[in-house]
């Protein structure tokens, strides 16, 4: 586990909301929340967007919110509508709640919470609109236990999307990011169509088309310890088709 960066004041007091979509993550969520709240970021808040998880993740989140009423908010969604819809809902609520910066990360502990202060510092010290925790820039790592087929799928997906969309990002499918709230307003969450993992690609594509600066910093990506991956055949099909839809829909996008 890395040691979190100690940011100077007033950076460490920035209003940062971490949006965490959940579906069957009851075993991982308490650990993630504990590690997030231990960070030297007193302005950090957590928004859990649960898609009515049958394993009781929503109840676990509610108990955590009772324990930390000023720092955790829970959004109970009607059902499993997809990662993209959960993020759009959560990010929109975070901005409405006054967040200056919005982070997004998975609940399965694959993204190291301790990297967040450094990512926020990189955002605040540059003109970037978003900082990506990247597996594929120098210094980035993949857990040795990550299955070979997942490595191959991730590598192929990045090459495929690069070829079709010409977006100059190493880790196009990354899900660990810190955004400026103003950048999310400019992009317009209402424009986002993706339901699954292609949400990440669509957000990167929209940011690039609108001229936003995207910065990648290295992280170590861990294999999940609890629960199962949410990657389904339907998700893979949507991800494969989405670049063609994005080129068509957002070709002439303007502010």
DSSP letters spanning 78-124: SS---HHHHHHHHHHHHHHTT-SEEEE--SSS-S-GGGHHHHHHHHH
| The pair of three-digit structure tokens given for residue 196, joined into one six-digit string | 């699954």
pTM: 0.89
Give the phi and the psi of residue 217 in degrees, each rounded to 5: -125, 150
Contacts for 183 with CB less than 8 Å, ≥ 6 apart: 129, 130, 207, 212
Cα of 206 vs its chain's centroid, Å? 15
pLDDT in tens, the chain (255 residues): 789 999 999 999 999 999 999 999 999 999 999 999 999 999 999 999 999 999 999 999 999 999 999 999 999 998 887 888 999 999 999 999 999 999 999 999 999 999 999 999 999 999 999 999 999 899 998 877 766 766 666 666 667 776 677 788 989 889 999 999 999 999 999 988 887 678 898 899 899 989 999 999 999 998 766 655 555 545 544 555 566 566 656 666 766
């Amino acid at each position: 586990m890395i040691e979190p960066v100690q940011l100077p004041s007033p950076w460490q007091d920035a209003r940062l909301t971490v949006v965490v979509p959940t579906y069957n993550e009851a075993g991982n969520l308490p650990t993630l929340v504990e590690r997030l709240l231990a960070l030297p970021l007193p302005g950090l808040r957590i928004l859990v967007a649960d898609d009515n998880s049958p394993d009781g993740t929503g109840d676990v989140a509610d108990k955590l919110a009772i324990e930390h009423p000023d720092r955790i908010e829970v959004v109970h969604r009607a059902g499993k509508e997809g990662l993209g819809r959960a993020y759009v809902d959560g990010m929109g609520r975070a901005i409405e709640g006054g967040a200056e910066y919005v982070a997004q990360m998975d609940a399965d502990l694959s993204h190291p919470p301790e990297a967040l202060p450094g990512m926020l510092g990189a955002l605040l010290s540059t003109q970037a609109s978003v900082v990506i925790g990247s597996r594929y820039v120098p210094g980035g790592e993949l857990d040795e236990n990550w299955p070979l087929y997942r490595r191959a799928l991730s590598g192929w997906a990045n090459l495929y999307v690069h070829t079709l969309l010409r977006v100059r990002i190493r880790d196009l499918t990354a899900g660990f990011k810190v955004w400026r709230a103003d950048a999310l307003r400019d992009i317009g969450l209402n424009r986002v169509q993706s339901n699954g993992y292609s949400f990440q690609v669509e957000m990167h594509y929209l940011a690039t088309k609108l001229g936003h600066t995207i910065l990648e910093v290295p992280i170590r990506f861990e294999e999940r310890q609890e629960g199962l991956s949410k990657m389904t055949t339907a998700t893979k099909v949507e991800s494969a088709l989405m670049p063609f839809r994005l080129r068509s829909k957002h070709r002439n996008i303007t502010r």
